[in-house]
Amino acid sequence: MNKVKKFFGEVKYELSETTWPTKEAMKKNTATVFGVMAFFGVFFYAADSVITFLLNLI
């Protein structure tokens, strides 16, 4: 039981030492992630469409 208390005490300490991002930084990072996901979604859709078209020519 003592190990469990020590573990959670260390977790609490580490979380208090963490530097959390600001609201503006989170908005920017979220927009970046969605932008990259959209880009790669369109990219892979286009690549798949081109490959499918080329294979249908055979």
Please write the tens of the pLDDT for every residue from 10-19. 999 999 999 9
Q: How many domains, the chain? A: 1
The Cα 58–Cα 54 span in angstroms is 7
- Are 29 and 21 in contact by the 8 Å Cβ rule? The answer is yes
Sign of CA dihedral 13, 19, 21, 23: positive
Range of the domain at 31: 21-58
Whether residue 14 lies inside any domain: the answer is: no
3 lies in some domain = no
Residue 16 in domain: no
Domain-embedded: residue 29: yes
pLDDT, one tens digit per residue, over 27-46 is: 999 999 999 999 999 999 99
With respect to residue 39, please indicate whether it lies within any of the assigned structural domains.
yes
